[in-house]
A and B are shown apart, each in its own frame.
Chain A
Amino acid sequence: MANGPKTGNSRVVKYNKWGYIFLIPFVLVYLVFQMIPLITTIYNSFFENYMSGLKQIGPNFIGLENYKEIVSNGDLINYTRNTLIMWVLGFVPQIFFSLLLGAWFSDQRLRVRCAGFFKTVIYLPNLIMAASFAMLFFTLFADSGPINTTLINWGVFSEPYKFLEHAAGSRGLVAFMNFLMWFGNTTILLMAGMMGIDGSLFEAAQVDGATSTQVFFRITLPLLRPILLYVMITSLIGGLQMFDVPQVLTNGKGNPARMSMTLIMYLNNHLYSKNFGMAGALSVFLFIITGILSLLVYRFSVRDNNADEVKKRSRNKA
């Protein structure tokens, strides 16, 4: 008798075991490629460790010196600001157009023709390597490039506008390229979210005589919140790690006056001398900044969500 429940238990344990076995590949990959590098990065950040010419200096343990250095020279704030400015400049039009296109494509009444074709086309820029895309823009917007030549021919400018030598021009171009590259991807994500919304809600709204603007703001947007949150956070993390586009566009210099230098480009500068200590410390800062910002976005969205639900409930009661 005593054996009965035990066999039952062990059967459960047996099934659980498979769960763990299936998790092994992920955990292994995570440990080897994420966890260990993460820990060694933090470990390295406490050392003076770089190459002077062909001579290795260090590693010497120097405690928090690297962190102090980064905080004291004030660059971190500058480059964080640059990164965020370029991210916001790109993200705002990106989310706007993605919502608009997503709403159009998923609208049952509109029945956009050749939706498949357009979905493919808007996704295409993402397939080009960021570096080649940046190189293309670099050539297009060069002082004697086709854009300047055309604008001068049309009489818009009397002499070439140095796009990459003005903060607005160079940041704007980076933001524009990021927007072009990523709005297709975001559209697809948001569309998936919109198509997941129960169709009967839209029908009910129609029956009630809601305009499409009302439907969008009162039904689509609130129900899309989880996907929007996902898009926001992934885009934020991607944005903070912005590197390839500005790096190639400005040739690693962050023209003008380092006003388009992002955090990761700054990190990359330290690799000139293989300065793993400073680069490590900077990575830790980056990790903290990303964590805080992601948490902020998450908290705001979740709180809003709850507030909305409370509102809805109270409205229902009324």
Chain B
Amino acid sequence: MKKKVLSTLLATAMVASLLAGCGSQAAAPAADAAAPAATEEAAPAEEAAPADEAPAEEAAPAGDEGKILNIYCWNEEFKSRLTDHYPGYEEVDGTTGKIGDVEVKWNITPSENNAYQNNLDAALLKQADASADEKIDLFLVEADYALKYVDTDYTEAVSDFGLTDADLAEQYDYTKKIVTDSNGVLKGVSWQACPAIMFYNREIAKEVLGSDEADKVQEQVKDWAAFKATADKLKDAGYQACSSVNDTFRVYSNNVSSKWVDGDKINIDKNIENWVNDSKALVDAGEAGTHDLWSDDWSKGFFKDGKVFAYFGPAWFINFCMSCDQEGSVGIDGGWGATVGPQPFFWGGTWICGATGTDNATLVGDIMKTMTCNADVMKEIVQKDDDFANNKKAMAEMAASDYTSKVLGGINPLPMYMEGAEKIDLSNLSAYDQGCNESFQNSMKDYFLGNATYEEALDTFYKSVVEKYPELTY
């Protein structure tokens, strides 16, 4: 008898879970099916729509535009920015949201191994034939490959979305230069500027360097020779100077005097060679690891028992990488300090591009305007996310105010960022940067660990770049 009861129970549970599974799956196609109808005529869509899809037409910013906003990006960063700072954005679930009656669909693909761009490219190439609701409306690009998209007809000028020069006046020039095509048309906007600095662990600084004040620390890391000497000291005390030599890569690669690609020939800049030599010395001395960025081993140093002295990064690094909201992290009680470090540099940054053919032009324009031109929103982003926003005036005001960063132990890092942002020089960017940077760090790892000579590692680098960009030679 007991067995029978148990089996009935189990069977019921199974059927119930099956049905539940069916339910959520069945709902999705139904919503999809309803969507194409919506563009043709609003009225039949209401009939077709399931009960839970409430018709809320009056809330729409522009009633005659598409009901689905497709956003392509590679991580959760922009989503959380939109959730926190865009008025009227409601989160529905992991991949969808709502602005008025417009459904926001997030298409998030990680950048690793070019997956994001592959996915985006495939979608963009089909853009012309896609139905209005399938079309990409808005997508994000990084500095490393912005040119690839900006210099094509797949992106539309921001002026077409209603952004005027006056709106953009307070943005840093470099953030505009990066996304200006060869005809001088601005094709994207960003809410952040990414001058980068060195974050150091205050505890370790006090113990080994005698002080955790930015000036004193800066003195000991003012150039790469000083950095190496400090790394030796740290090593004796049982700490690593930085988690991985890939941490310092951007510092060198942003201070190059030539591009990765010269004509169609791959070119290794002198400063990149410096990175290789300095890094080899660090790795051989056991003063830095060779972990891939973002890997678990790499992130150990964000926690108190991680024994890592410094990380290099821009403002987004704090919010996005350092796990400062987690128990046991260095950042949770303000354990990080910040200083300029051996060389000023910049890293990354995310630009919003409007896709050609979007059926939500007004909404896209409004998102761009709110997220990148509205001084109040910019200040909010700094307050909440420790980011550095792309608005000179607002940043100057905040730099002069009593704003402090909790993670950075109560200092105001904005003056440092402001100084760095003015110095950013983008004359040596190329459309191949992402592939080259990734392959180079990857191939040199073999050299650092002694699995290959420098020449062999270089050879692997060339091979891997030519696989990615067959038009290049070496």
B is bound to A: yes
Task: Spell out A's residues near B (CB within 8 Å).
Answer: 50-54, 57, 73, 75, 139, 142-144, 162, 165-167, 251-253, 255-259, 269-270, 272-273, 275, 278
Give chain B's interface secondary structure class: helix
Chain A nearest CB: distance from B96 CB in Å?
26
A253 with B442: CB separation less than 8 A: yes
Chain A nearest CB: distance from B266 CB in Å?
14
Name the segment of B337-345, B407-415, B448-456 touching the other chain.
B448-456
Nearest chain-A residue to B147 (Cβ)? A53
Interface presence of B402 (CB below 8 A): no
B463 with A75: CB separation less than 8 A: yes
Residues from chain A with Cβ under 8 Å of B460 in the complex: 257-258
Further pairs besides A54-B125, A54-B152, A57-B471: 15, Cβ < 8 Å: A52-B471, A53-B148, A54-B154, A73-B463, A143-B289, A144-B296, A165-B290, A251-B113, A256-B451, A257-B446, A257-B452, A257-B457, A272-B114, A272-B435, A272-B467
Residues from chain A with Cβ under 8 Å of B437 in the complex: none
A213 CA to B403 CA in the complex, in Å?
Answer: 82
A41 CA to B463 CA in the complex, in Å?
Answer: 23
Residues from chain A with Cβ under 8 Å of B297 in the complex: 142-144
Chain B nearest CB: distance from A242 CB in Å?
18
Nearest chain-A residue to B121 (Cβ)? A54
Interface presence of B112 (CB below 8 A): yes
Task: Spell out B's residues near A (CB within 8 Å).
Answer: 112-114, 118, 121, 124-125, 148-149, 152, 154, 289-292, 295-297, 300, 431, 435, 442, 445-446, 449, 451-452, 456-457, 460, 463-464, 467-471
A54 CA to B139 CA in the complex, in Å?
Answer: 15
Residues from chain A with Cβ under 8 Å of B118 in the complex: 272
Residues from chain A with Cβ under 8 Å of B154 in the complex: 54
A144 CA to B124 CA in the complex, in Å?
Answer: 40
Chain B nearest CB: distance from A5 CB in Å?
61
Query: Can you list 12 contacts pairing A with B, beta carbon distance less than 8 Å?
Result: A52-B471, A53-B152, A54-B154, A57-B470, A139-B296, A142-B296, A166-B451, A167-B451, A252-B113, A253-B442, A272-B113, A272-B435
Residues from chain A with Cβ under 8 Å of B457 in the complex: 257
> Per a CB cutoff under 8 Å, which of B125, B451, B467, B471 touches A165?
B451
A269 with B464: CB separation less than 8 A: yes
B113 with A54: CB separation less than 8 A: no
Chain A nearest CB: distance from B168 CB in Å?
25
Chain A nearest CB: distance from B37 CB in Å?
32
What are the 7 closest A-B residue pairs judged by CB atoms, nearest first?
A256-B451, A257-B446, A53-B148, A269-B467, A257-B452, A257-B451, A272-B468
B121 with A51: CB separation less than 8 A: yes
Residues from chain B with Cβ under 8 Å of A272 in the complex: 113-114, 118, 435, 467-468
Residues from chain B with Cβ under 8 Å of A166 in the complex: 451
A54 with B463: CB separation less than 8 A: no
B148 with A278: CB separation less than 8 A: no
Chain B nearest CB: distance from A130 CB in Å?
17
Residues from chain B with Cβ under 8 Å of A253 in the complex: 442
A165 with B449: CB separation less than 8 A: yes
